[in-house]
């Protein structure tokens, strides 16, 4: 099962990718998570990526395509994946086509999650992440049982630096300019489906499972 989740920042890609990964036992590959891990580890990649992330810009294609190439070269990512946050430019989409062809793999589903701008800002500014395990919460829509503490591992929750309102607006602008044009690119793809992402997390997940089941992508659905 090779799935691509598309949509603007805050649409719910990461949330849905985590749920799918857990249900279907395939890896969730997120370029944003990889960059944040590199920033945390203080590597050269992390230092470079941080300059762009902090201002809401995209990390240059050469760097981003490089980390995806490395990730897809791993055996554990070649049996299926849920890709989230990549591609974000036409160059990245072309690179992904090339990498999939090298692996002789085709995307089973391209799901484009639609959520309007005002709701995206509510979702992003309320997003909270576990420092220890990366689990994703929302202060109002998906709060942890104990304030500020991760349900899964007891870690401390924090707000991403780039989730503050000024950077969020820039990120949505960058999405509209550089990533939204990919809708046209992928709408020509036979497996492209648009999805209303404004419902609750469980409803959106059920809708994704229904799409995947209609495409018969996985035995466990």
Task: Tell me the catalytic residues.
Answer: 13, 88, 127, 160, 171
The Cα 157–Cα 171 span in angstroms is: 22
Beta strands in the chain (DSSP E): 2-6, 28-30, 81-84, 109-114, 127-130, 136-138, 157-158, 192-196
Asked if 11 touches ligand ADP (CB under 6 A), the answer is: yes
Binding piece for ligand ADP, criterion CB under 6 A, among 67-75, 101-109, 124-132, 147-155:
124-132
Q: Alpha-carbon distance 31 to 29, whole Å? A: 7
Q: Does 179 bind ligand ADP (CB under 6 A)?
A: no
205 makes contact with ligand AMP (CB under 6 A): no
Q: Is 92 in the site for ligand AMP (CB under 6 A)?
A: yes
The residues in 70-89 that bind ligand AMP, with binding defined as CB under 6 A, are 85-86, 88
Among 89, 136, 167, 217, binds ligand ADP (CB under 6 A): 136
DSSP of 19-44:
HHHHHHT--EEEHHHHHHHHHHHT-H
Assigned token pair, 120: 């995206």
Cβ proximity to ligand ADP, 18 vs 78, nearer residue? 18
Q: Distance between CA atoms of 19 and 82, rounded to whole angstroms? A: 10
Q: Listing from the earlier edge strand, what are the strands of the sheet with 157-158? A: 136-138, 127-130, 157-158
Of 200, 210, 216, 220, the one binding ligand ADP (CB under 6 A) is: 200
Among 3, 4, 6, 13, interactor with ligand ADP by CB under 6 A: 13
Nearest to 15 by CA among 106, 116, 161, 123: 123
The site for ligand ADP (CB under 6 A) is made up of 7, 9-15, 123-124, 126-127, 136-138, 141-142, 197, 200-201, 204
The site for ligand AMP (CB under 6 A) is made up of 9, 31-32, 35, 52-53, 56-59, 64, 85-86, 88, 92, 162, 171
């Amino acid at each position: 099962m090779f799935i691509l989740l598309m949509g603007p920042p805050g649409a719910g890609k990461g949330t849905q990718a985590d749920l799918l990964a857990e249900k279907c036992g395939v890896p969730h590959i997120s370029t944003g998570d990889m960059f944040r891990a590199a920033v945390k580890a203080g590597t050269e990649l992390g230092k470079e990526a941080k300059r762009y992330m902090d201002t809401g810009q995209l990390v240059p294609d050469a760097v981003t395509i490089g980390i995806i190439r490395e990730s897809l070269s791993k055996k554990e990512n070649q049996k299926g994946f849920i890709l989230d946050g990549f591609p974000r430019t036409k160059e990245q989409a072309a690179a992904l086509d090339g990498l999939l062809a090298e692996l002789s793999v085709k995307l089973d589903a391209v799901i484009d999650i639609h959520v309007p701008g005002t709701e995206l800002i509510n979702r992003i500014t309320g997003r909270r992440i576990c420092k220890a395990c990366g689990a994703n919460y929302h202060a109002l829509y998906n709060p942890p049982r104990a304030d500020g503490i991760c349900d899964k591992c007891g870690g401390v929750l924090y707000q991403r630096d780039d989730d503050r309102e000024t950077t969020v607006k820039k990120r949505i602008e960058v999405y509209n300019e550089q990533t939204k044009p990919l809708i046209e690119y992928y709408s020509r793809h036979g497996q492209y489906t648009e999805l209303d992402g404004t419902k609750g997390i469980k409803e959106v997940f059920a809708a994704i499972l229904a799409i995947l089941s209609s495409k018969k992508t996985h035995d466990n659905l």
